[in-house]
Amino acid sequence: MKDNPPSFILSAYFPPSYDFAKDVYYIVNSWPRPRSLYTAIMAEARDTQSGAWVDQRGPDARIKIRNDIPIPEPGTCEVLIKLSCSGVCHSDVHNMFGNTPMTADIGGHEGVGHVVKLGTNVPHDLLQKRVGVKWLHTYCKQCEICAVDVTACPNQHNSGRDVPGTFQQYTLSPVEGLTIIPDALDDVVAAPLLCAGLSMYGSISRAGLKEGEWLVLTGAGGGLGHLGVQIAREKGLKVIAIDTGEQKRNLCLKLGATSFLDFKSDDVETRVKELTNGYGAHAVISTAGPAAYAQSFRLLRNCGTLVCVGLVTDNLTVSPFELLKRALRIVGSSVGTPEHLEELLEMAVQGKVKPVVQVRAFEDLDDVLRELAAYQVEGRIVIKIPS
Q: Is a pLDDT exceeding 50 seen at residue 383?
A: yes
In the chain, which residue ranges form alpha helices assigned H by DSSP?
7-13, 21-28, 34-45, 90-96, 187-192, 198-207, 225-234, 246-255, 268-275, 290-299, 320-326, 338-349, 365-373
Task: Report residue 305 CA to chain centroid gap.
Answer: 24
In this prediction, residue 27 carries a pLDDT of 42
Q: Give the number of other Cβ atoms within 10 Å of residue 319's Cβ.
A: 9
Q: Is a pLDDT exceeding 90 seen at residue 350?
A: yes
Structural domains in the chain?
Answer: 46-181+357-384 (3.90.180.10), 196-332 (3.40.50.720)
Per-residue pLDDT of 113-142, as tens digits, reads: 999 999 999 999 999 999 999 999 999 999
The mean-pLDDT minimum among 4-8, 52-56, 206-210, 212-216 falls in: 4-8
Q: Is a pLDDT exceeding 80 seen at residue 219?
A: yes
The residues that bridge with 55 in the sheet, in sequence order, are 62
Burial class (CB in 10 A: 0-12, 13-18, 19+), 224: buried
The residues that bridge with 238 in the sheet, in sequence order, are 214
In this prediction, residue 136 carries a pLDDT of 95
Q: Which amino acid is at 374?
A: A
Q: CA 51, 55, 61: angle at the middle one, nearest 5?
A: 120
Query: Can you say whether residue 245 is alpha, beta or left, with left for phi > 0 and alpha for psi between -120 and 50 degrees?
Result: left
How much of the chain exceeds pLDDT 70, in percent?
88
According to DSSP, the β-strands at 300-308 and 281-286 are: parallel
Q: Give the number of other Cβ atoms within 10 Å of residue 77's Cβ.
A: 14
Per-residue pLDDT of 245-258, as tens digits, reads: 999 999 999 999 99
Confidence band, pLDDT 50/70/90 cuts, at residue 313: confident
Confidence band, pLDDT 50/70/90 cuts, at residue 44: low
By residue count, the chain amounts to 387
The residues, ordered by sequence, that sit 6+ positions from 164 with a Cβ below 8 Å of its Cβ are 51, 72, 104, 105, 106, 171, 172
How much of the chain exceeds pLDDT 90, in percent?
74
Q: Is a pLDDT exceeding 80 seen at residue 12?
A: no
Q: Give the number of other Cβ atoms within 10 Å of residue 372's Cβ.
A: 21
Q: Which amino acid is at 133?
A: V
The residues that bridge with 157 in the sheet, in sequence order, are 138
Per-residue pLDDT of 163-207, as tens digits, reads: 999 999 999 999 998 999 999 999 999 999 999 999 999 999 999
Q: Give the number of other Cβ atoms within 10 Å of residue 39's Cβ.
A: 18
Backbone angles phi, psi at 42, to 5 degrees: -65, -30
Confidence band, pLDDT 50/70/90 cuts, at residue 38: very low
Confidence band, pLDDT 50/70/90 cuts, at residue 42: low
Q: Average pLDDT for residues 302-312, to the nearest whole number?
A: 93
The residues that bridge with 253 in the sheet, in sequence order, are none
Confidence band, pLDDT 50/70/90 cuts, at residue 358: very high
**Higher confidence at residue 40 or residue 219?**
219
Q: Is a pLDDT exceeding 90 seen at residue 93?
A: no
In this prediction, residue 295 carries a pLDDT of 93
In this prediction, residue 187 carries a pLDDT of 97
Burial class (CB in 10 A: 0-12, 13-18, 19+), 344: buried
Judge whether 54 and 106 are in contact, CB under 8 Å.
Answer: yes
Q: Could you give the CA distance from residue 234 to residue 140 in angstroms, rounded to a whole number?
A: 33
Q: Could you give the CA distance from residue 209 to residue 234 in angstroms, rounded to a whole number?
A: 13
Per-residue pLDDT of 143-155, as tens digits, reads: 999 999 999 999 9
In this prediction, residue 285 carries a pLDDT of 97
Q: Could you give the CA distance from residue 140 to residue 151 in angstroms, rounded to a whole number?
A: 11
Order of strands across the sheet with 281-286?
Answer: 259-262, 238-243, 214-218, 281-286, 300-308, 329-332
Q: Is a pLDDT exceeding 90 seen at residue 51?
A: yes
Q: Could you give the CA distance from residue 288 to residue 291 in angstroms, rounded to a whole number?
A: 8
Q: Is a pLDDT exceeding 90 seen at residue 290?
A: no
Q: Is a pLDDT exceeding 60 seen at residue 157?
A: yes
pTM of the model: 0.86
Q: CA 195, 248, 283: angle at the middle one, nearest 5?
A: 60
The closest alpha carbon to 192, from 138, 137, 134, belongs to 134
Q: Which contacts of 322-325 are long-range, i.e. CB under 8 A and separated by 24 or more positions?
A: 322/297
